[in-house]
């Protein structure tokens, strides 16, 4: 979504038709600001675009905020509310005229997630108290509810590949069966977009190196080199992680054996296993518990 062309095609395809008619996506611009407070930036991410309304005597700015989730979070309406009011506060601090904020929630989780607004978090709330709840809405796109055929007719082929990969990200067999088709859709995308999706696809599919190389060999030459270079990086990274994990397991097993079968002190065990004393202490503590 950080690519403007992809974002524009997504908005035009998946925002409600009544909203699309109002907006001039030719004026779409991504802004550097985030609407997330600093303490939430480590766990959440948002992308904000602005665009103008089509017919207006004055240039009314509309902020389109995208948040995507792969898991169900019942408190999402609170999060979205914080985005909206954080956005308004930033506009006030910059002495700008307030611009409407349209939040978009893109969900591609495994379980079905029912849409609900902030009011849905408060059961049996009396009307006298309900008036104190902020009243706002958001655009909810559940990829699981969108048929593949509807996605496949989109003009932006990279967007097609991205949405289908996200939609089926929990189905390794589907990703393996459709990997060649998905990769073919990347031919016209730039290298950054291609490499990002290639890594995500191979990671989610759990494909082994031999299968990855067989799939890449069947691609057109114009695409093969780019995909293969990215795949090589992905494969080497996987090997390195596997090697590191294997080495970590070996050290752990060695320390456990020494703790169980010798009366060596923690310092000596750490020296023999080439690990820190803290490493030994943690394992000893876990064994004790």
Using the predicted structure, report yes or no on whether residue 44 has a pLDDT greater than 50: no
Nearest-CA neighbor of 52 among 10, 100, 120?
100
Domain that holds residue 195: 146-249
Cβ-contact 104, 141 below 8 angstroms: yes
What's the rounded Cα separation, in Å, for the pair 254 and 250?
6
Name the more confident of 161 and 288: 161
Is pTM, for the whole model, over 0.75?
A: no
Percent of the chain with pLDDT over 70: 85
87 and 13 in a common domain: yes
Q: Token pair for residue 232?
A: 């090589």
17 and 95 in a common domain: yes
Mean local confidence (pLDDT), 14-32: 88
126 and 66 in a common domain: yes
Name the more confident of 66 and 180: 180
Q: Which of 90, 119, 145 is the last residue of a domain?
A: 145
257 and 220 in a common domain: no
| pLDDT tens-digit map of 212-224 | 888 888 888 878 8
157 and 135 in a common domain: no
Q: How many structural domains does the chain have?
A: 3
183 and 284 in a common domain: no
Using the predicted structure, report yes or no on whether residue 232 has a pLDDT greater than 80: no
Q: Is 155 exposed, middle or buried (0-12, 13-18, 19+ CB in 10 A)?
A: exposed
Secondary structure string (H, E, C) spanning 186-240: CCCCCHHHHHHHHHHHHHHHCCCHHHHHHHHHCCCHHHHHHHHHHHHHHHHHHHH
Predicted local confidence at residue 157, as pLDDT:
94
118 and 8 in a common domain: yes
Mean local confidence (pLDDT), 152-169: 93
Q: Which of 124, 145, 166 is the last residue of a domain?
A: 145
112 and 203 in a common domain: no
15 and 110 in a common domain: yes
116 and 86 in a common domain: yes
119 and 55 in a common domain: yes
219 and 141 in a common domain: no
Percent of the chain with pLDDT over 90: 20
Mean local confidence (pLDDT), 253-276: 78
Q: What are phi and psi of 262, to 5 degrees?
A: -135, 170
């Amino acid at each position: 979504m950080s690519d403007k062309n992809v974002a524009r095609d997504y908005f035009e395809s998946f925002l409600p038709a009544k909203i699309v008619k109002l907006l001039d996506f030719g004026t779409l611009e991504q802004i550097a600001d985030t609407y997330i407070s600093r303490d939430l930036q480590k766990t959440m991410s948002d992308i904000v675009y602005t665009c103008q309304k089509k017919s207006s005597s004055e240039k009314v700015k509309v902020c389109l905020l995208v948040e995507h989730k792969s898991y169900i979070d019942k408190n999402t309406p609170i999060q979205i509310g914080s985005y909206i009011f954080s956005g308004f506060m930033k506009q006030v601090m910059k002495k700008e005229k307030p611009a409407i904020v349209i939040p978009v929630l893109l969900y591609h989780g495994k379980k079905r997630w029912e849409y609900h607004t902030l009011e849905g978090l408060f059961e049996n709330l009396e009307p006298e108290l309900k008036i104190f709840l902020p009243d706002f809405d958001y655009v909810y796109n559940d990829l699981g509810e969108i048929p593949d055929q509807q996605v496949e007719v989109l003009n932006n082929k990279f967007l097609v590949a991205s949405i289908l990969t996200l939609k089926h990200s929990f189905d390794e067999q589907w990703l393996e069966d459709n990997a060649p088709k998905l990769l073919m859709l990347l031919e016209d995308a730039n290298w950054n977009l291609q490499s990002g999706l290639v890594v995500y696809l191979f990671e989610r599919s759990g494909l082994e190196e031999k299968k990855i190389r067989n799939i890449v060999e069947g691609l057109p030459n114009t695409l093969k080199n780019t995909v293969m270079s990215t795949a090589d990086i992905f494969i080497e990274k996987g090997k390195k992680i596997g090697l590191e994990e294997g080495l970590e397991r070996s050290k752990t097993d060695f320390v456990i054996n020494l703790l169980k079968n010798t009366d060596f002190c923690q310092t000596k065990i750490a020296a023999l296993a080439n690990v820190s004393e803290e490493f030994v202490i943690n394992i000893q503590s876990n064994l004790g518990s």
